[in-house]
Amino acid sequence: MTARETRYFGKPVRRNEDPKLLTGRALFVDDVDLPGMLHAAFYRSPYAHARIRSIDVSAAKAMPGVVAVYTAEDLGDYWQPGPLLVPPPPVHKMPVFNKRTQVPLAKDKVRFVGEPIVLVIAENRYIAEDALERIDVDFEPLPAVVDVEAALAPDAPLVHEDAGTNIAAHVIQEKGNWEEAAAAADLIIERRFFYDHGHAAPMETRGIVAHWDTRMQTLTVWDTTQAPIPIRNGLAGMLGLSEHQVRVIAPFIGGGFGPKIMMFYQEEVLILWASVQLGRPVKWIEDRRENFLAMTQERYQIHEAKIALTREGKILGVWDSFLHDTGAYIPYGLTVPLNAQCTLLGPYVVPHYYSEFKAVFTTKAIVTPYRGAGRQHGVFVMERLLDIAARELGMDRTEIRRKNFIPPDAFPWDNQIIYQDFAPLVYDSGNYEPALDKAMEMIGYRRFLEEEKARYRAEGRHVGLGIVAYVEGTGIGPYEGARVQVQPNGKVIVATGVGTQGQGHFTSFAQVVAEQLGVPVEDITVVTGDTAEFHWGTGTFASRGAVVAGSAIYEAAKAVREKVLKLASEELEVAPEDLELADGKVFVRGAPDRALALGDLAVKANPLRGAVAPNTEPGLEATRYFGPPRGSTASGVHAMLLEADPETGFVNILKYVVVHDCGTVINPLIVEGQIHGGVAQGIGNAFYEQIVYDESGQLLTASFMDYLVPTAMEVPPIDVAHVETPSPWNPLGAKGVGEAGAIPVGPLFAQALEDAFDNAFEVTEIPLSPQKVWALIHGK
Amino acid sequence: MTARETRYFGKPVRRNEDPKLLTGRALFVDDVDLPGMLHAAFYRSPYAHARIRSIDVSAAKAMPGVVAVYTAEDLGDYWQPGPLLVPPPPVHKMPVFNKRTQVPLAKDKVRFVGEPIVLVIAENRYIAEDALERIDVDFEPLPAVVDVEAALAPDAPLVHEDAGTNIAAHVIQEKGNWEEAAAAADLIIERRFFYDHGHAAPMETRGIVAHWDTRMQTLTVWDTTQAPIPIRNGLAGMLGLSEHQVRVIAPFIGGGFGPKIMMFYQEEVLILWASVQLGRPVKWIEDRRENFLAMTQERYQIHEAKIALTREGKILGVWDSFLHDTGAYIPYGLTVPLNAQCTLLGPYVVPHYYSEFKAVFTTKAIVTPYRGAGRQHGVFVMERLLDIAARELGMDRTEIRRKNFIPPDAFPWDNQIIYQDFAPLVYDSGNYEPALDKAMEMIGYRRFLEEEKARYRAEGRHVGLGIVAYVEGTGIGPYEGARVQVQPNGKVIVATGVGTQGQGHFTSFAQVVAEQLGVPVEDITVVTGDTAEFHWGTGTFASRGAVVAGSAIYEAAKAVREKVLKLASEELEVAPEDLELADGKVFVRGAPDRALALGDLAVKANPLRGAVAPNTEPGLEATRYFGPPRGSTASGVHAMLLEADPETGFVNILKYVVVHDCGTVINPLIVEGQIHGGVAQGIGNAFYEQIVYDESGQLLTASFMDYLVPTAMEVPPIDVAHVETPSPWNPLGAKGVGEAGAIPVGPLFAQALEDAFDNAFEVTEIPLSPQKVWALIHGK
């Protein structure tokens, strides 16, 4: 399907969901207020690493208004580690895998500051918080494990003693033979790169309301999760309930970005369990400090990397060995470091590749995917290596990239390693040169190099240009499903299992259906994230919503369209080919007065008398599932003009350009919004934001006073252009776009900054900051 | 499937639902208690027929605690007649059809005592009821229309002036040519029969709680309805909502019996509408007086009937013309009189049949189906005609029946008229003689006639025997659906759209699934009557639950079984034919240690990584629909020994026998329970219960003081035996049994009573009563 032939698909339709959001009528978890509702607060570890000698909750329990105080002792069978969300991948070499997952409440030992130890339930949150003050825990502090390299020293304190090591996992993937590449090389570049912790900092923190109905024996849960169905399935299992007894609703959510996929947060298990215990609704809304301490984070990796090239700038091979800080536990498995490993290869032909990583336990917050999910690190390493190589070879930085691009006729392109979805890392389609050309044109690459740069320098201004490329694996399986129904009032309801955190699903999914059924987008209601409406699927992550759920919706809408045509053909006594769907009606082509409203057809399809024929289904409804054989590969080029102030180290982004290929664009407004948001988060992660732990494992940046999220002042206007190479692996031709904006901003910043100072220094660490830029400029 | 080869199907399994019901943990509508819930009461017409000159609600509105007072004026668009539930049937001759359906609140005129005029909403029911006292309605009384024959007089007052007649419908159906039969007959019997009003008198009255969630824009409704899905669909339409915005839950219900199918009761529309208006939950629980006045009723028909026979007792033809009292409106269409018309033919070969009826408007409660749904009348007429004919011909009453039975090799048997499902009245299968023989044996027919009768008479005791036969159209379409899912804990969830009012669905449906999946019945949870769980289907009526929903469940369970076998075959590397399902596991035949738990297979079928293959579905779930081509025809013979007291007219049932054919029996305990309940209701309707209106249309029997429902004291032990002629028209071979017990009790009573007095009088009216029996005996 191409946008040219369409009425709704591919059009910049305004978002169906916005009136509700803008007028304050959207339901968020904290809006849920139930009669008899209790409130929870957590006593969390003040130590990064300590033994718990004893816990005294008697004073807290005695407080008026306190309903229950739970420690690990009270949990019985529930005091056990959570499941591993994603099992270890079937890679060839994995010498170590230590599955260590969190427990609901710490018992003998705590492993990061903020780990829950005691749960207090009270009549209101004030009382619950006050009761925390009366809890007395006797700790024996242990040395914190903060630095991943130190964590691997023979005498390092162990985060999990029973593992006998701080290595959580050790994975090696290889393509070809690096040694051969190195032997044949004219040039080998070798560097050490560091990418520090960042935080997703969603506008809405986590929150849960659980309501156990003792008479119905059902548990209704409102949860800020990105994956309501797996949450339902998993928590039902943990609580000994059947899945159908648990309904999880992920209503409107103020930002997910990955950390809200996690399952299961200790709080999720506990709030549900407490509601069942007490037979009353229980609410917990995370406060901002808790969000910084206990929501999962990302980003800390140290890479030792080498690239081997010919003198003409052809890549012969890449060698990379990195340490990945997984925090105190590894519930999500290896998705993040696998993504780093895979995304490093980028849009380039890399004949030989050796990549090895160790995931390392530290006494810090747990690491799970956050927008980009490890891809940042891979792109940072590769793009930096290419920049340095271009300099060494005296080549133009765009030329070295262009020379190594996978050619457009080489797809599908097999990278011969395993991706996070456990399938071979094969790129479906792509065309990288036009994107590079377009970005160069939009940023004014030639003009900058040939004229403007010199002019800036003459004015004493440190303006630099950055331009980087990347690919992004998106839209992985296993599958999503959807139900599409034309209702008797002619309106269409679409239900799917993925949750929504602002992606515009209510509109882009509606466009997919509108196109098939000829019903205006505003007459199509999309329901997401409610297991009572649709209870199969995995969730919103890995830039997969439009690709996987969108394709399931497309298939379901197509099936409904076929039902409509069949029934209308019988009713109007006209061949289906002679019928047309538009404006909520079925018309006879060339005789527009011979029309049936879809709603009236829906009524006819669901009679109260007569018989519905064998092997048919009543109504105008269809449910379909879609599982892509492999993920679809998005790609792009970002470019920026940046001016740095050598006195303060502060930067000002003069221009920001994104040329992106997410395959077929369903709604350009939404795609561009996704890219804008991603770039904003990328800029924050590259320059403003940094999670800082001190050597005792205390988080020094646990508020927005210390953790600086960019505001509208710091984010420049962003020009976006599209290249469309439709994915052959889904019926929409779509590729994901949710993470694209955030991925390549680090190396882009680095390159532009170096350019602004004519390569007087080399940037090998992200995030930057005014202080760090100042130090680089001044050689400190 | 026959019971012999089965493990669960056909077995007298104890009911899954009983522990919940017996321990008071089952949710009924009145158990629903929501925060901020308001309570409704209705001001109802004290007149059967009157014009409303004016309504003054100002004093009621002014009462503290009264939240709203609504009259028709306030309803705007909602003041309009309801839809016709079942459209007029496609019969050959229908000279008149006046669709007149009720309005939510009466505006200019009231047409029966109890018709709602004003709705009061208050903080509690006490205040609401008190406010009713302050409402002042100025009525202009009109003459009531009570007698259906008088209603047809040229100068009769009209219930609906605009119809120009009190005839609601006039229908003629013919098979062959009665005149020919009459001309050829050796004997023609002609009689007038009367069957008066009865009331279903469910233990639980009607009740509704509606909760409009202003933020979510969803309406949740708990309703004592037998048809939650059509209720949802219809009310959503009337309220201008989409179907998916409305969830209707029919929880446990204390008896339905037909009147709770009705859609839409005025109260249903109004309570929902009021909740939307007020943005608060609103509850209305019908009180017993309201139930007598305003819940629909049944039964009043006057038949003029003739039967033509040869001297050998062969039926040549039947002629029947009857008046059917439809009450003030006709929302349900013609189901009841059509059933009377069709069921009259019974298990007999009737070569020529002429049947004509007029449905007549009166100023009484609306008539819609009640257990038996018109079948009683047809059976009463036919069985009475045969009894009288046998007497006239000097034949044994069982012989005349046996002689006219449709022979077992004549099925499918086409009666050449149209049934209530609008399909030709074709009997699927049957074998009537064995049932008659069995009943004769069980009641001791020969012994009674040859020995006991004389002995009783010698003792001065008036003991008589009755024995009658009937068929019952059951299990009509259009369709039902079901979803069956094996959950990861190995338990199975089954969801279907029909509601439950005590039929044992939670067990018999579970048995259907247990048989397919080899899972114990107690591990199978059935969910019925919740549109959030299953939103396609029609409802529980016409003895169709087991046949139609049961078959959909069977098909869905079979599909899940196939999924299980396919996946297990892959996992165990064994051909599906070599696998066996039992005890919640899949075994390799002959190697019981090679087994996989169904729950583990369910987890494997729903992976979090990898890809779900194209055109497959995740999980171990299937949804299937079943629409029978035609209904299945149950049949039976009832026999009783009855002793009457000539001094008091009181009767004592000495023995009661039912031989029933409901095709394949899923659970004999449940089938027998259904028959027991039906017979109890039949005995009530035949002897104890009578709805009495005076000539001004006032109901004289509006409480259990006046309307006598039989208790355990009046209902004898009932011996049940089964004949099984499986229906070829559904995969279970099932036929309905819900109404069977109630249908033939009237003519059975009549025959036994006549026998007890050696045919000294003729019974042509039902119900009987001690007074009427005394009057018959004494010729008064």
Q: Secondary structure of B197-234 in the HEC alphabet?
A: CECCCCCCCCEEEEEEECCCCEEEEEECCCCHHHHHHH
| CA atoms within a 13 Å half-sphere pointing along the CA-CB vector of B663 | 29
| CA dist., res. B525 & res. B483, Å (int) | 12
In a domain, A63, yes or no: no
Are B31 and A215 a contacting pair at CB < 8 A? yes
**A630 pLDDT exceeds 60?**
yes
**B441 pLDDT exceeds 50?**
yes
Tell me the C-alpha to C-alpha distance, in Å, between residue A369 and each of A260, A261, A402, A469.
9, 8, 30, 21
First CA to last CA distance, chain A: 56
Amino acid identity of residue A128, one-letter, is: A
Are A609 and B422 a contacting pair at CB < 8 A? yes
Same domain, B754 and B678: yes
Are A478 and B626 a contacting pair at CB < 8 A? no
Amino acid identity of residue B311, one-letter, is: R
Q: Among A63-67, A542-546, B70-74, B152-156, where is mean pLDDT lowest?
A: A542-546
Last residue of a domain, one of A271, A294, A317: A294
For residue A1, the model assigns a pLDDT of: 40
Number of helical (H) and strand (E) elements in chain A, helices listed first: 20, 30
Same domain, B489 and B610: yes
In a domain, B761, yes or no: yes
pLDDT digits (tens, 9 = 90+) for A505-548: 999 999 999 999 999 999 999 999 999 999 999 999 889 999 99
For residue B1, the model assigns a pLDDT of: 41
The arrangement of strands across the sheet holding B620-626 comes to B524-528, B492-496, B480-486, B620-626
Same domain, A560 and A578: yes
For residue A2, the model assigns a pLDDT of: 41
The CATH number covering residue A269 comes to: 3.30.365.10
Confidence grade of residue B4 (pLDDT, cut at 50, 70, 90): very low
Measure CA A623 to chain center: 27
Q: What is the mean pLDDT of residues B222-231?
A: 96
Same domain, A463 and A490: no
Under 8 Å between Cβ of B103 and B266: yes
For residue B631, the model assigns a pLDDT of: 93
Distance from the Cα of A424 to chain B's closest Cα (Å) equals 11
Are A609 and B215 a contacting pair at CB < 8 A? no
Are A242 and B525 a contacting pair at CB < 8 A? yes
Looking at chain A, the whole-number percentage of residues with pLDDT higher than 90 is 93
Last residue of a domain, one of A294, A314, A335: A294
Are B525 and A244 a contacting pair at CB < 8 A? yes
Residue A141: strand pairing partners: A50
Last residue of a domain, one of B162, B190, B216: B162
For residue B78, the model assigns a pLDDT of: 77
Are A478 and B536 a contacting pair at CB < 8 A? no
The answer to whether ipTM exceeds 0.85 is yes
**A661 pLDDT exceeds 60?**
yes
Place of tokens 């006797």: A138
For residue A3, the model assigns a pLDDT of: 38
Are B243 and A487 a contacting pair at CB < 8 A? yes
Neighbour-count burial for A625-639, b at 16+ CB within 10 Å, e otherwise: bbbbebbbbbbbbbb
How many Cβ pairs within 8 Å bridge chains A and B? 165
In a domain, B315, yes or no: no
| CA dist., res. B31 & res. A215, Å (int) | 9
**B221 pLDDT exceeds 90?**
yes
Same domain, A643 and A677: yes
In a domain, B715, yes or no: yes
Q: What is the mean pLDDT of residues B769-778?
A: 96
Partners of residue B548 in chain A, C-beta under 8 Å:
none
Partners of residue A476 in chain B, C-beta under 8 Å:
609
Question: Which of A34, A609, A613 has the CB atom closest to B421's CB atom?
Answer: A609
For residue B5, the model assigns a pLDDT of: 63
For residue A17, the model assigns a pLDDT of: 95
In 3D space, the residue among B373, B440, B436 whose CA is nearest the CA of residue B406 turns out to be B436
Confidence grade of residue A5 (pLDDT, cut at 50, 70, 90): low
Tokens found for residue B334: 């013609």
Question: Which of A215, A614, A627 has the CB atom closest to B611's CB atom?
Answer: A627
Question: Which of B233, B610, B618 has the CB atom closest to A422's CB atom?
Answer: B610
**A613 pLDDT exceeds 90?**
no
Measure CA B426 to chain center: 20
Partners of residue B621 in chain A, C-beta under 8 Å:
536
Mean pLDDT of chain A: 96
Distance from the Cα of A64 to chain B's closest Cα (Å) equals 24
Q: What is the mean pLDDT of residues A752-769?
A: 97
Under 8 Å between Cβ of B471 and B634: yes
| CA dist., res. A319 & res. A305, Å (int) | 6
Same domain, B504 and B616: yes
The CATH number covering residue B71 comes to: 3.90.1170.50
- The SS3 assignment for B484 reads strand
Tokens found for residue A257: 């970005």
In a domain, A747, yes or no: yes
Mark out the alpha helices in A213-313 (DSSP H runs): 228-238, 266-278, 288-294
Partners of residue A421 in chain B, C-beta under 8 Å:
609-611
**A493 pLDDT exceeds 80?**
yes
Partners of residue B618 in chain A, C-beta under 8 Å:
478-479, 481, 536, 625, 627
Are B485 and A422 a contacting pair at CB < 8 A? no
Q: Which of A479, A493, A531, A632 is most worth mutating to test chain B (most B CB atoms within 10 A of its CB)?
A: A479
Q: Which residues contact A429 (CB under 8 A, 6 or more apart)?
A: A411, A412, A632, A633, A663, A725, A726, A727, A728
**B21 pLDDT exceeds 50?**
yes
In a domain, A186, yes or no: no
Amino acid identity of residue B712, one-letter, is: A
For residue B481, the model assigns a pLDDT of: 97
Place of tokens 């029933």: B660
Q: Which of A608, A623, A624 is most worth mutating to test chain B (most B CB atoms within 10 A of its CB)?
A: A608
Are A627 and B612 a contacting pair at CB < 8 A? yes
Q: Among B52-56, B235-239, B426-430, B482-486, where is mean pLDDT lowest?
A: B235-239
Partners of residue A240 in chain B, C-beta under 8 Å:
489
Confidence grade of residue B471 (pLDDT, cut at 50, 70, 90): very high
Q: B187-195 and B765-766 as β-strands: parallel, antiparallel, unpaired?
A: parallel
Q: Is B779 exposed, middle or buried (0-12, 13-18, 19+ CB in 10 A)?
A: exposed
pLDDT digits (tens, 9 = 90+) for A322-376: 999 999 999 999 999 999 999 999 999 999 999 999 999 999 999 999 999 999 9
Tokens found for residue B31: 């158990």
Q: Which of A339, A609, A617 is most worth mutating to test chain B (most B CB atoms within 10 A of its CB)?
A: A609
Distance from the Cα of A406 to chain B's closest Cα (Å) equals 26
A485: nearest CA in chain B?
A: B244
Q: What is the mean pLDDT of residues B270-276?
A: 97
Same domain, B660 and B769: yes
For A124-226, strand residue ranges (E) read 136-141, 167-175, 187-195, 207-213, 218-223
Same domain, A446 and A521: no
pTM: 0.95
Are B422 and A610 a contacting pair at CB < 8 A? yes
Question: Which of A242, A608, A627 has the CB atom closest to B538's CB atom?
Answer: A608
Q: What count of other Cβ atoms lies within 10 Å of the Cβ of residue B183?
A: 11
**B569 pLDDT exceeds 50?**
yes
Structural domain boundaries enclosing B610: 477-626
pLDDT digits (tens, 9 = 90+) for B494-515: 999 999 999 999 999 999 999 9
Partners of residue A485 in chain B, C-beta under 8 Å:
243-244
Q: What is the mean pLDDT of residues A740-746?
A: 97
Amino acid identity of residue B582, one-letter, is: A
| CA dist., res. B301 & res. B194, Å (int) | 6
Are A478 and B607 a contacting pair at CB < 8 A? yes
Same domain, B613 and B654: no
Question: Which of B216, B244, B609 has the CB atom closest to A478's CB atom?
Answer: B609
Question: Which of A215, A233, A242 has the CB atom closest to B493's CB atom?
Answer: A242
Mean pLDDT of chain B: 96
Q: Which of B609, B626, B630, B730 is most worth mutating to test chain A (most A CB atoms within 10 A of its CB)?
A: B609
Q: What count of other Cβ atoms lies within 10 Å of the Cβ of residue A86?
A: 18
Partners of residue A84 in chain B, C-beta under 8 Å:
none
Q: What is the mean pLDDT of residues A633-640?
A: 98
In a domain, A498, yes or no: yes
Q: Which secondary-structure segment (H or E) carries B417?
A: strand B413-418
Q: Which of B27, B37, B213, B215 is most worth mutating to test chain A (most A CB atoms within 10 A of its CB)?
A: B215
In a domain, A753, yes or no: yes
Confidence grade of residue A703 (pLDDT, cut at 50, 70, 90): very high
Angle at B282 between CA B281 and CA B288, to 5 degrees: 150
Confidence grade of residue A583 (pLDDT, cut at 50, 70, 90): very high
Looking at chain A, the whole-number percentage of residues with pLDDT higher than 70 is 99
| CA dist., res. B156 & res. B161, Å (int) | 11
Neighbour-count burial for A357-383, b at 16+ CB within 10 Å, e otherwise: bbbbbbbbbbbbbbbbbbbbbbbbbbb
Neighbour-count burial for A183-213, b at 16+ CB within 10 Å, e otherwise: eebeebbeeebebbbbbbbbebbbbbbbbbe
Same domain, A621 and A487: yes
Q: Secondary structure of B614-664 in the HEC alphabet?
A: CCCCCCEEEEEEECCCCCEEEEEEEEEEEEECCCCCCEEEEEEEEEEECEC
Distance from the Cα of A223 to chain B's closest Cα (Å) equals 16
Same domain, B416 and B452: yes
pLDDT digits (tens, 9 = 90+) for B717-735: 999 999 999 999 999 999 9
Confidence grade of residue A707 (pLDDT, cut at 50, 70, 90): very high
Same domain, B71 and B136: yes
**B216 pLDDT exceeds 90?**
no
Confidence grade of residue A4 (pLDDT, cut at 50, 70, 90): very low
Query: How many domains does chain A fold into?
Result: 3
Confidence grade of residue A243 (pLDDT, cut at 50, 70, 90): very high
Confidence grade of residue B2 (pLDDT, cut at 50, 70, 90): very low
Q: Which of A242, A421, A422, A534 is most worth mutating to test chain B (most B CB atoms within 10 A of its CB)?
A: A242
For residue B67, the model assigns a pLDDT of: 98
